[in-house]
Structure formats: C-alpha cells, structure tokens
Amino acid sequence: MAVEKRYADVLLPLKLREPLSYRVPEGWNVLVGDWVQVPLRGHRVLGVVTRLCDSAPAGVSLSGIEVLAAQVDKPGVTGAEMAFWQDIADYYLCTPGEVFKAAYNTGLQRAVAQPSKPDSKRRKEPAIPDDYSLKTLSEAQETALSQVRKGFAAGKPVLLRGVTGSGKTEIYLHLTAEQLRQGRDVLYLVPEIAISKQLQQRLEAVFGNQLLVYHSQTTVPQRYRAIDTLRRNPTPRIVLGTRSAVFLPFRGLGLVVVDEEHDRSYKQDDMAPRYNGRDAALMLAARQGTAVILGSATPSCEALYNVQLRKFVLAELPQRYYGGGAPEVEVIDTLREQRLHNMEGSFSRKLLKEMAAVLEAGQQVMVFRSRRAYAPVVQCEACGEPVRCPHCNVTLSYHKFSNQLSCHYCGYHRPYSLRCPSCDEVALVERGAGTERIEEELQAAFPGRRIERFDADTTQRKTVQERMIRDFSAGRIDVLVGTQMVSKGFDFENLALVVLLNADSLFAVPDFRSDERAAQLIAQLTGRSGRRGGQGRIVIQTAQPGHPVIQRLLHPSGEPAADLLAERRQFNYPPFVRMISITVKDKYEGRVWNVSRLVREAAEAAGFTDIAGPFTPAVDVVAGEHIAECWIKMPRTRNLATIKRTFYDRIDRIEKDFKGRTAIIIDVDPL
C-alpha cells in the first residue's frame, strides 16, 4: 500500500528563489502539478505543487509549517511546462515564480481559482477538413517551401527571408495546414496586437474555429478558455498570439512560426522575466522537438549570424508575389530645401506635390514620424531653458489637442501655459514636430481629405485601433499619420506612397543597434506600398543624405547586413558576444552608486571579465529615482550557466542587504 506524502513544495507566482513547503491534510490526494491554494501572510495564494515528500524540510519545526488551504479542481501543470519555466528563469536570471506569474497573470490566476461552471453552450469540436482553402503557391514560394522542409528535415530552425509582399504568410499557412492534418498544434507569434487583428481574419477564413487568439487585449475568460482548450482538447489548434503565448500548455506542438522575428516588441523589458519571445520560442521548440520558422524581410543580425554558424537554415523569397519591382526610393535633403526656402512646415514643397498627385489618382499615403505629441520640446525664448519633467531628467512633450505638457517616461502631465517655469516670462515656444503637428499640417495642406493619426495616443482603445486599420484597408482614409505602429506587417492594397519625415532622429539614438533598427524600419516602411503589383514608392526627408543607412538603401550591394555584422565583430558587440545589462535605481543618488559598485564587484567575483560601468545613462532620473548602469559582455563559446547563477546569487544577497530599497534590474540580451 502506497504511503501518503505528507508535505508538498509549492511554487508561487512571487519573486521567491525556492518553492515554499506546506503540510498536506490527511486524506488529500495531491499530485505534482496540481493547483492548490496556500495561506501566505493572511491571504490565500494560488500555487502549483512541484514536489511531494514524506518528511518536513530540514531545520524547520513542524509547528512552523502551514497546511494547504484548498485544492483546485482544474487540469494541472505538466512537468514539461515547469521545466520550461525553469529554463526561462535560469537563462534570464530571475525566479521560477516570476516566470509563473508571466504565464498566469493575476486575472488568469483568479480564473484558475474559481470553481468550474457548467458550460451553458455546448461547444462543437472543430472538424478537420480533408483540405483547407489555401492559395496555390507561386514557383518562388514552392522553391522557398522546399528549402524550409529541408531545414526541418535537418532538425534546424529555418530563417525565411522574403521581401515585403513576397507571400511569406502563405507559406506559413501551408506549413500550418500540414501540422494540423497530422494532429499537431501550431503556435503563430506576431510582435504586435495590431498586426494580429488583420491576420486573424485571414487565418479564420482558412482554419475556422481551429484558431485560438491569445494576447493582452483578449478578455481573461477568452484567454483562460484558450488555456483550458489546449489542456483538455485533443483536437489540434493554431494559436495566434503575442510573446506571452509561448507559455501556453501545448501538448503536441508541431510548428512554431515567429513572424517579423527582428521586431523589438518581442522583448519584454518592463518586468521579470525580461525575455525575448523569439528566443523563448526557440527554447520551447528545442525542448519539445518542434520545427521553427522565423520570418522577416529584414532579419536581425542575431538570426543572420546563426545562419553563418549553420545553426539556422536560410530560405529566401526574393520576389514580390504580385510582381512589380522593388519600391522606388527618393531622398530629399532638408538642409538644402531650407536654404532654397522650399520647406512648408515639416514638408518640402516637392513632397507635397507628390502627395497631391497620389491622392488625385485615388490612392493612399502613409506618413511616418518617430515622435508622437504635437512638439517633443517646449523651450523659453527668453532664458533658453526647455520645460522639464519635475520627476525625470527629460523634457516635457506638448500635446495640443489636450493642451497638456506630458512626460512620456513617468506619465506626469500639467496644463500648457506660455509662462516659463524657470524665468516667469511669457515666452514658451514649441520646437520640433510630432505626429499631432504633422496631422494638423496635412489637414491644412489637403483640405477635404480624410487624414487620421495612428499612434499610442489615438489607439488606446482597441475598437479605435481596429476601426482605423479597417478604414484604411477599405480606402476610407486618404492619409494615415503614425509612429512605429504603422510599419508593422500591414497589407494595404491601395497604398502607393510612404513618407518618412526627419529620418535623422532614427540615427541619433546612442545605441550600437541604432543603424540596424533604422535600416529595418525603413525597409519595412518601404515594403508597405505597391503590394499588389504596382510600383511602390517611399520618400525620405533627412538632413543626412550621406548617412551609411541611406546610402546602403540607395545603392544596395552584397549581403544587406554584412557591414553591420563587420562593425559588431570589430567592436565586440552582439551577436559576437552576449550581454547583460544591470540597471540600479534608488531615490538616493549616493546609494545608487554604492550599490552599483557592489554590482560590479559581484560580476568580477562571479568570473566575468569584460565589464563596463557603473556609468550614467542618457536619462539618469525617472520618476524621482536616480539611475546607474553596468554592462557585461560574455563570450558565446563558453558555458556561462554556472557563472550567471553565481552572479545572480550575489545580486540576491546585495538586494537583501539593502532590504529591497534599491532596485537592481537584470536584463539578459538587452534590446
């Protein structure tokens, strides 16, 4: 007769290095992976049983061990899921509890803890059709698909590099249909929720109710239903989601698609685990023996480096599906135009004429500006001081439509007044142009045309975001003004001209990745136009027409990223090394530097040798907290797991010594 296990280790969604031990009530049938509720500091907390044992933990009195509060009658967490959580925790230097919380946020935890209710709607199991309604592939797509299959047969991830409009999505759909027919699930990752809206309709048209959608704008019941469906239902599914979908409980995952693999939105950097969804997907696939395809028109340096190392297989789609040549690129030198008095506000007269011609032809224009608000800076003409945030070392941005000065770092805002807070003179003027001002200038230049703005200020409600995408797709918007959001994978049939204003702001970022990001963004914008066989066109306004990124665009030759990779190798930057960024924050500046020096000493003691800092970042005060940073470079060829874990242990001790008053943020592979 089996002996009942009397003690359970329970993983909680908290920043705890180890699970907590609890006593199992007599007669309970508890298994590893079961959901339980436990008492903790006067509250009940949801947890997962990770281990069962007969004896209490060493050194803990029996009276100090609390009793499990309740069992939760829901399908448990598998050993494979918990092992994946541990993989993420080990690589990104955080606790398994923090990964647990990323997989099951507060809303999902409540959904798990609630008693099951009878489903009033009898949900019909999706039928798997004999054949899906898929488009016939072109010759170029068939060739690329053959390359993809060869890569899968070799057991390697495949990088599908295809120019924008080449039909990468159709290849994903053919691969997905193959896996679903074989009874295996598919995970389809996209970097932004906005992209998923347009893609969802396309996937539903092919796969019907085999499609599950999972991202932060779906409701908690919808997300929990997706989790429950994958746990209980043997019918294969395709899941369309953003980065957090890697934590879903797949039972038979056959394929992972990472679309726009280069996109920085895959990286979570606001809380632990600070993971990259692309890299986490590769880790998940390696653990489950799953095929992976990563797609992009502008692959990341990391992906191309892995192709060079033959860790990835390269498949290519060099032609647009509907034909037509590469979009035409025109560069306008704004310094020259200003000298010739050919500028009207933010636009050259030549550009305005080209936009007018496109609109007269019944086609559409997209205008990109990397800054939102009306003006990024407000400055006093009397004393020269810009208006700064009282809590951050940054200038306030002027939002004209709300008449507010706002900080885009901490959220501080106040009504706009022309009176200078430094010298008290009525002499404030707006400098620069954000998307609000661009929209206003275009409305004056093209009266009667429908012009809308697509940025973080106007698309806070998902219904507005969906409506704008739908209206622009249907031709009901003539000119769409936006930030990075408009560059992401949208397919607009009637878009003939893309405009990039003030490209210089893309190059001015003090980051070794700035040229790579600028090149990717421009290429993505270029590819938004002329997607149905017409000649697309992009006009770039810049004061630096000779910049290497612009010149490589105008005169392409050889491997597009060869120069960038050569520079990274020369200066010893990723992907030739790995990096860890450590950010220290505290309201007291002296303590920030004291802790930062201890962080450097901890890195040296752990065995790291290439350490920069502590140093002051470009923005050194945010929300009243002073900031210092350290960077660690690590060789890729060395097994770093032990050194990283030793370093994390030392950082944990420093945090405990300072009783959590100083925040130490570890970011592995920062973007």
Helices within 48-92 (DSSP H only) = 79-92
The whole-number pLDDT of residue 325 equals 64
- Are 660 and 582 contained in the same domain? yes
How far apart, in Å, are the Cα atoms of 243 and each of 215, 247, 264, 267, 319?
Answer: 8, 9, 11, 8, 29
Amino acid, res. 574: P
The whole-number pLDDT of residue 534 equals 64
Cβ neighbours of residue 363 closer than 8 Å, sequence gap 6 or more? 494, 495, 496, 497
The whole-number pLDDT of residue 432 equals 92
Token couple for 485:
């959001």
Picking from 655, 520, 521, the residue whose alpha carbon sits closest to that of residue 595 is 655
Would residue 600 count as lying in a domain?
Answer: yes
- Are 187 and 267 contained in the same domain? yes
Would residue 285 count as lying in a domain?
Answer: yes
The whole-number pLDDT of residue 1 equals 39
For residues 653 and 660, the answer to whether their CB atoms sit within 8 Å is no
> Buried b vs exposed e over 151-160: b needs ≥16 C-beta within 10 Å?
bbeeebbbbb
Picking from 391, 384, 422, 354, the residue whose alpha carbon sits closest to that of residue 620 is 391
- Are 257 and 313 contained in the same domain? yes
For residues 136 and 269, the answer to whether their CB atoms sit within 8 Å is no
Would residue 571 count as lying in a domain?
Answer: no
Cβ neighbours of residue 314 closer than 8 Å, sequence gap 6 or more? 147, 158, 159, 161, 307
- Are 295 and 346 contained in the same domain? no
Q: Which residue has the tokens 């022309």?
A: 418
| Boundary (domain end) residue, out of 250, 282, 317 | 317
Helix (H) or strand (E) holding 141: helix 139-153
What's the average pLDDT block by block, 10 residues per block, for the chain (671 residues)? 74 94 93 96 95 82 84 94 97 97 95 78 66 89 97 98 90 97 96 83 93 94 95 92 96 95 94 97 96 96 96 93 76 96 96 96 94 94 96 96 95 95 94 95 96 88 83 93 76 88 88 90 80 74 93 79 90 95 97 98 96 96 97 86 94 94 96 89
- Are 165 and 241 contained in the same domain? yes
Beta strands (DSSP E) in 505-656 are 537-542, 577-586, 610-615, 621-622, 625-635
- Are 345 and 364 contained in the same domain? yes
> Buried b vs exposed e over 299-319: b needs ≥16 C-beta within 10 Å?
bbbbbbbbbeeeebbbbebeb
- Are 547 and 509 contained in the same domain? yes
The whole-number pLDDT of residue 244 equals 96
DSSP state of 375: B
The whole-number pLDDT of residue 451 equals 97
- Are 47 and 167 contained in the same domain? no
Token couple for 295:
């797609």
The whole-number pLDDT of residue 58 equals 74
For the stretch 281-289, contacts whose Cβ atoms lie closer than 8 Å and that sit 24 or more positions apart, written own/partner, are 281/187, 281/189, 281/246, 281/256, 282/157, 283/84, 283/87, 283/88, 283/91, 284/84, 284/246, 284/253, 284/256, 285/157, 285/253, 285/256, 287/80, 287/83, 287/84, 287/87, 288/80, 288/250, 288/253
Picking from 218, 143, 167, 288, the residue whose alpha carbon sits closest to that of residue 531 is 167
- What is the phi-psi region of residue 57: left when phi exceeds 0, alpha when psi lies from -120 to 50, beta otherwise? beta
- Are 201 and 247 contained in the same domain? yes
Question: In angstroms, rounded to a whole number, what is the distance separating the alpha carbons of residues 210 and 235?
Answer: 8
CATH of the domain at 109: 3.40.1440.60
Would residue 132 count as lying in a domain?
Answer: no
> Buried b vs exposed e over 616-633: b needs ≥16 C-beta within 10 Å?
ebeebbbeebbbbbbbbb
The whole-number pLDDT of residue 170 equals 95
The whole-number pLDDT of residue 100 equals 98
Determine the structural domain holding residue 194 and report its residue range.
139-317
Query: In residues, how long is the chain?
Result: 671
Q: Phi first, then psi: what are they for 594, rounded to 5°?
A: -60, -45
How many other β-carbons are positioned within 10 Å of the β-carbon of residue 3? 6
Would residue 519 count as lying in a domain?
Answer: yes
- Are 353 and 306 contained in the same domain? no
Q: Tell how many helices (H) and how many strands (E) occur in the chain.
A: 19, 30
What angle (nearest 5°) sits at the alpha carbon of residue 538, between those of residues 533 and 541? Answer: 175
Q: How many structural domains are present in the chain?
A: 4
Question: In angstroms, rounded to a whole number, what is the distance separating the alpha carbons of residues 211 and 227?
Answer: 13
Question: In angstroms, rounded to a whole number, what is the distance separating the alpha carbons of residues 118 and 85?
Answer: 31
Token couple for 329:
């690129």
Side-chain-side CA neighbours of residue 326 (13 Å): 13
How many other β-carbons are positioned within 10 Å of the β-carbon of residue 449? 15
Would residue 291 count as lying in a domain?
Answer: yes
- What is the phi-psi region of residue 368: left when phi exceeds 0, alpha when psi lies from -120 to 50, beta otherwise? beta
Would residue 80 count as lying in a domain?
Answer: yes
pLDDT tens digits for 468-497? Answer: 888 998 999 999 999 887 776 566 888 999
- What is the phi-psi region of residue 469: left when phi exceeds 0, alpha when psi lies from -120 to 50, beta otherwise? alpha
Question: In angstroms, rounded to a whole number, what is the distance separating the alpha carbons of residues 648 and 666?
Answer: 9
Distance from the Cα of residue 511 to its chain's centroid: 18
Largest Cα span, the chain? 94
Would residue 405 count as lying in a domain?
Answer: no
| Boundary (domain end) residue, out of 565, 588, 620 | 565
DSSP letter string over 448-470? TS-EEEESTTT-SSHHHHHHHHH
Token couple for 616:
């002051």
- Are 313 and 332 contained in the same domain? no
Distance from the Cα of residue 108 to its chain's centroid: 21
How many other β-carbons are positioned within 10 Å of the β-carbon of residue 125? 10
| Boundary (domain end) residue, out of 79, 113, 147 | 113
Amino acid, res. 252: G
Beta strands (DSSP E) in 67-184 are 70-71, 158-162
Beta strands (DSSP E) in 483-595 are 495-500, 537-542, 577-586
Question: In angstroms, rounded to a whole number, what is the distance separating the alpha carbons of residues 166 and 323?
Answer: 9
The whole-number pLDDT of residue 2 equals 47
How far apart, in Å, are the Cα atoms of 241 and each of 212, 217, 223, 238?
Answer: 8, 10, 10, 10
For residues 380 and 420, the answer to whether their CB atoms sit within 8 Å is yes
Beta bridge pairs of residue 426: 419
CATH of the domain at 530: 3.40.50.300
DSSP state of 237: -
Distance from the Cα of residue 403 to its chain's centroid: 31
- Are 523 and 601 contained in the same domain? no
Environment class of 79 (CB within 10 Å of its CB; exposed 0-12, middle 13-18, buried 19+): exposed
